[in-house]
A = this chain, B = another copy of it.
Amino acid sequence: MPNPLLDDRTVDFLLYEVFDVERLTELPAFREHSQETFDLYLGACRKLARERLFPSYRAIDETPPRLENGRVKVHPLLRELYPRMAELGLLNATRPESVGGQQLPAAVASLSNAYLMAANLSAYAYAGLTSSAARLIESFGSESLRDEYMQRMYGGEWTGTMALTEPQAGSSLSDVNTRATPTSGSHHLMSGSKIFISGGDQDLTENIVHMVLARIDGAPPGVKGISLFVVPARRQEGDRLVPNDTAAAGVIHKIGWKGIPSIALNLGEGGDCHGYLVGQPHRGLSYMFQMMNEARLMVGLNGVSTASVAYQEALEYAKTRPQGRPLRNKNPEAPQIPLIEHADVRRMLLRQKAIVEGGLALLCYASREQDLAEHAPTAEERREHQLLLDLLTPVAKSFPAERGFESNTLSVQVHGGYGYSSEYLPEAWLRDQKLNSLHEGTTGIQSIDLLGRKVSIEGGLAVELLGREIARAVGDARAASVNAGWCDAVEKAFASTRDVTRHLSSLGSPEATLLHSVDYLELFSTTIIGWMWLLQAAAARRALAKRPEDAARYEGRLCAAQYFIVTELPRVELLAALCRSGEDSYARAEPDWF
**Contact for A574 among B195, B221, B570, CB less than 8 A:** B570
- Contact assessment for B423 and A438 in the assembled complex, using a CB-CB cutoff below 8 Å: no
A233-253 CB mask vs B (1 if < 8 Å, else 0) is 000000000000000000011
How far apart are the CA atoms of A255 and B422 in the complex, in Å? Answer: 6
- Considering only residues 328-356 of chain A, those with a C-beta below 8 Å from chain B are 328, 330-333, 336, 338, 340, 342-347, 349-350, 353
Q: A213 near B: Cβ within 8 Å?
A: no
Contacts of A315 in B (CB 8 A): 594
Q: A419 near B: Cβ within 8 Å?
A: yes
Q: Which of A70-78, A95-103, A150-158, A405-413 contacts B (4 or more CB under 8 A)?
A: A405-413
Given contacts A347-B586, A423-B253, contact A328 B510 (CB under 8 A): yes
Q: A514 near B: Cβ within 8 Å?
A: yes
- Considering only residues 486-534 of chain A, those with a C-beta below 8 Å from chain B are 509-511, 514-515, 517-518
Number of copies of this protein chain within its complex = 2
> What are some 22 contacts across the A-B interface (CB < 8 A)?
A170-B321, A170-B417, A172-B324, A175-B336, A196-B417, A256-B420, A327-B511, A343-B511, A344-B447, A353-B594, A405-B409, A417-B438, A555-B589, A555-B593, A556-B592, A556-B593, A559-B589, A563-B583, A563-B586, A566-B583, A567-B585, A570-B577
- Considering only residues 418-455 of chain A, those with a C-beta below 8 Å from chain B are 419-423, 427, 430, 434-435, 437-439, 442-444, 447-448
Q: A254 near B: Cβ within 8 Å?
A: yes
- Beyond the given A262-B421, A416-B438, A427-B434, please list 10 additional residue pairs across the A-B interface where CB-CB is below 8 A: A170-B416, A195-B417, A253-B422, A254-B420, A254-B421, A319-B591, A430-B434, A552-B590, A562-B583, A570-B578
A534-566 CB mask vs B (1 if < 8 Å, else 0) is 000000000000000000110110011011001
- Contact assessment for A336 and B254 in the assembled complex, using a CB-CB cutoff below 8 Å: no
Contacts of A321 in B (CB 8 A): 170
Given contacts A416-B171, A417-B170, A435-B420, contact A349 B570 (CB under 8 A): no
Q: How far is the CB of A151 from chain B (nearest CB, A)?
A: 32
Q: A144 near B: Cβ within 8 Å?
A: no
Q: A40 near B: Cβ within 8 Å?
A: no
Contacts of A586 in B (CB 8 A): 343, 346-347, 349-350, 559, 563
- Contact assessment for A439 and B417 in the assembled complex, using a CB-CB cutoff below 8 Å: yes
Q: A27 near B: Cβ within 8 Å?
A: no
Q: A86 near B: Cβ within 8 Å?
A: no
- Contact assessment for A332 and B587 in the assembled complex, using a CB-CB cutoff below 8 Å: no
How far apart are the CA atoms of A315 and B556 in the complex, in Å? Answer: 44
Q: A571 near B: Cβ within 8 Å?
A: yes
- Contact assessment for A327 and B416 in the assembled complex, using a CB-CB cutoff below 8 Å: no
How far apart are the CA atoms of A230 and B423 in the complex, in Å? Answer: 30
Q: A48 near B: Cβ within 8 Å?
A: no
List the interface of chain A (C-beta within 8 A of B). 165, 168, 170-172, 174-175, 195-196, 221-223, 252-256, 262, 315, 319, 321-325, 327-328, 330-333, 336, 338, 340, 342-347, 349-350, 353, 405, 409, 412-413, 416-417, 419-423, 427, 430, 434-435, 437-439, 442-444, 447-448, 509-511, 514-515, 517-518, 552-553, 555-556, 559-560, 562-563, 566-567, 570-571, 574, 577-578, 581, 583, 585-594
Q: How far is the CB of A551 from chain B (nearest CB, A)?
A: 9
- Contact assessment for B438 and A413 in the assembled complex, using a CB-CB cutoff below 8 Å: yes
Interface hub of A262, A325, A593 (most chain B Cβ within 10 A)? A593
Contacts of A420 in B (CB 8 A): 252, 254-256, 434-435, 438
Contacts of A591 in B (CB 8 A): 319, 338, 340
- Contact assessment for B345 and A444 in the assembled complex, using a CB-CB cutoff below 8 Å: yes
**Contact for A346 among B421, B509, B589, CB less than 8 A:** B589
How far apart are the CA atoms of A587 and B439 in the complex, in Å? Answer: 38
Among residues of B, the one whose C-beta sits closest to the C-beta of A314 is B594
- Contact assessment for B514 and A343 in the assembled complex, using a CB-CB cutoff below 8 Å: yes
Given contacts A330-B222, A511-B328, contact A567 B583 (CB under 8 A): yes
Among residues of B, the one whose C-beta sits closest to the C-beta of A337 is B172
Given contacts A324-B171, A514-B327, A593-B559, contact A442 B413 (CB under 8 A): yes
How far apart are the CA atoms of A224 and B49 in the complex, in Å? Answer: 50
Closest 9 CB pairs of A and B: A222-B332, A556-B593, A563-B585, A344-B444, A346-B586, A327-B510, A562-B585, A221-B332, A172-B324
Contacts of A175 in B (CB 8 A): 332, 336
How far apart are the CA atoms of A395 and B449 in the complex, in Å? Answer: 38
Q: How far is the CB of A487 from chain B (nearest CB, A)?
A: 17
- Contact assessment for A553 and B593 in the assembled complex, using a CB-CB cutoff below 8 Å: yes
Among residues of B, the one whose C-beta sits closest to the C-beta of A435 is B420
Contacts of A252 in B (CB 8 A): 417, 420-421, 423
